[in-house]
Amino acid sequence: MLDRAIALLRAGEVIGVPTETVYGLAADATNPAAVAKLIEQKKRGSFHPISVLCASAQMAFDLGNDVPESALRLAARFWPGPLTMIVRRGPGKIPDLLTAGQPFVGVRVPDHPLTLALLERFASPLAAPSANRSGHISPTTAAAVRREFGEEIALLIDGGPCRVGLESTVISFASPRPVLLRQGGIPQELLEAEIGPIDPAIDPNRSRSASDRPPRRYLLRTPLVLVRGLEEIPASERKKAGLLAWGPCPTDFAICRSLSPSYRLEEAATKLFGLLRELQESGVDRIFALLLPEQGLGRAINERLRKGAAGSNFWEECRGD
């Protein structure tokens, strides 16, 4: 299968690949026509930067210029893994379409044996946003990618369910101090233990400068309501509602799915998108979701839930990977 995948990539085709975070759509990052085809299939605005998967830190940072020491330290500690770093782009390495003309590029080394083997044999970086239409929930199984795209992509590598199931943490080195753009698969506390304090993200609606990535959004068709305890949900609303639980499921909802009956944050991260998709497709009037503890992966999961519940149910997507 890897031989076929490499041949398709070299021919400018788009394929589906697994990572430990979510499945991605992959194309040759050095081929502008292939990147354009990927953008068209994802139905994503071309002004949105696309991050890049690489086989190693050397391949990743070869795309950059003046990579700071703190980024090198994070790479040594957390790659391969669910961490995307935005660094200053090197001249002439990748097409402008990939970075939306910005002088920065997002790079990551994924922690999945099949995709790492593909990258090593392909010997070139892959543009790889999440394998969903822009505005839809990120897929964490090959089956979810098939439902989304059917036969529209040339090949889908089935690597099993995603181990992390939550997009990568995104940290930007576009400013003198590192900035956390998105909570994700590696908790902020671990990053700060390695390189010191990290600044919070700038409001992406305030500026369109190079260091302010435009917001991507996931749209849930079913209203999502966040609560801190079951007592906040009226009994009269439960029979027609779904519940995304934290801990054991109660029995008085139309449907309930638990992120982790035993209160394990790692399990919750792996199940988040799949369970949201299942609840959305169940036909309930609304979905109630219990917020998780504001620590580690719980903070990242709550960030996704808050984006999903805000305004018109917009859901931020920053990579996706």
Please give the annotated binding residues for ATP, written as ranges. Answer: 44, 130, 138, 218
Cis peptide before 80 (omega within 30 of 0): yes
Burial (0-12, 13-18, 19+ Cβ within 10 Å), 69: exposed
DSSP designation for 209:
S
Residue 124 CA to residue 137 CA, distance in Å, equals 28
What element of type H or E holds 2? helix 2-10
Q: How far is CA 139 from the centre of its chain?
A: 9
**Sign of the alpha-carbon torsion through 277, 279, 285, 286:** negative
Angle 100-314-52 from CA coordinates, rounded to 5°: 30
Residue numbering of the annotated binding site: 21, 44, 108, 128, 130, 138, 168, 182, 218
**Cα–Cα distance for residue pair 20/253, rounded to 1 Å:** 32
Q: Dig out the tokens for 58 from the structure.
A: 């050397």
Helices (H), the chain: 2-10, 32-42, 57-62, 69-78, 96-99, 113-122, 142-149, 188-195, 265-280, 297-309
Nearest to 52 by CA among 89, 4, 77: 89
Angle at the Cα of 42 (from 64 to 56), degrees rounded to 5?
30
- Tokens 């990242």, located at residue: 300
Q: Are 67 and 76 in contact (CB under 8 A)?
A: no
List, as residue ranges, the binding site for L-threonine: 21, 108, 128, 168, 182
Q: How far apart are CA 168 and CA 319, in angstroms?
A: 8
Evaluate whether 97 touches 105 at the Cβ level (below 8 Å).
no
Residue type, 307: K
